[in-house]
Amino acid sequence: MDPAALAMLFLALTGAAPTSGTEACGGITVEIPVERTMASAATLPNLLGLPRSLEAESHRMLGESEQVVASTVPPGDACPRHCTPFGVPEVVFRSVPAVVLDAYDEAEKCERLLDQTSRQPYRFGDRQFDSIDDLGDWIGLFTRGKGEDGQRLYRLCDGRGSPSYVWVISHEADRLVVNAEVTCGHARDRDDNRYELSYSLRWSCR
């Protein structure tokens, strides 16, 4: 056996054989922030869909994300040096209470839920929609505890706590596929009553 073959055999037997560039890049993602804003969770502005309400801002940002996905090219150095970003990016849309309380009844219960769901968020996976408007409508119902998913969420995050949301939106054929993760947190300060909304684009590297 020639020396090169012997060297490769030794590496394979010891588990030190080098991996290909594709294997080394697998599982690496890069996320590029696009927009961050504040929106009101007050009931009446959201029922009416008024500007700066969660309802209005969520629909606006989701709609704009579709245009951004179609036109944005990732930075050339987004991935590690030996990898490159590829494919259509996912949209990562987040909604988090701006201000939470630290002393209130049920605080201990909410702290336990926060610890539990920070380690293992509640997941609502593989929801499919024909349009961004359909997705926005589902998010509105979901976050208000309406529909099958929303009712389940409110049973899991019960009491005074306020959830934080992450929606990962991917494009498959002509449909939107959404995977949601929810963390049950402390009660939001209803004197402030705002959520921080943000979205970013996430590419896989290869």
Whether 8 has a pLDDT exceeding 70, the answer reads no
Question: Which residues fall within 8 angstroms of residue 182, CB to CB, at 6 or more apart?
Answer: 117, 121, 122, 123, 124, 153, 156, 157, 163, 164, 165, 166
Amino acid 206 reads R
| Domain boundaries along the sequence of the chain | 23-205
Whether 32 has a pLDDT exceeding 80, the answer reads yes
Cα dist from 72 to 35, 58, 69, 93, 169, whole Å? 14, 20, 6, 16, 16
**Residue 129, class by beta-carbon neighbours within 10 Å (0-12 exposed, 13-18 middle, 19+ buried)?**
middle
Task: State residue 168's pLDDT score.
Answer: 98
- The model's confidence at residue 23, banded by pLDDT at 50, 70 and 90, is low
State pLDDT tens for residues 84-138: 998 899 999 999 999 999 999 999 999 999 999 999 999 999 999 999 999 999 9
**Are residues 56 and 50 in contact, defined by beta-carbon separation less than 8 angstroms?**
yes
> Which strand (E) or helix (H) includes residue 166?
strand 163-172
State pLDDT tens for residues 128-183: 999 999 999 999 999 999 999 999 999 999 999 999 999 999 998 889 999 999 99
User: Could you tell me how many helices (H) and strands (E) the chain has, helices first?
Assistant: 7, 6
- What is this structure's pTM? 0.85
State pLDDT tens for residues 43-64: 999 889 899 999 999 999 999 9
**Are residues 94 and 197 in contact, defined by beta-carbon separation less than 8 angstroms?**
yes
- Counting residues of the chain whose pLDDT is more than 70, the rounded percentage is 89
**Dihedral of the alpha carbons of 109, 115, 120, 125, in degrees to the nearest 10:** 50
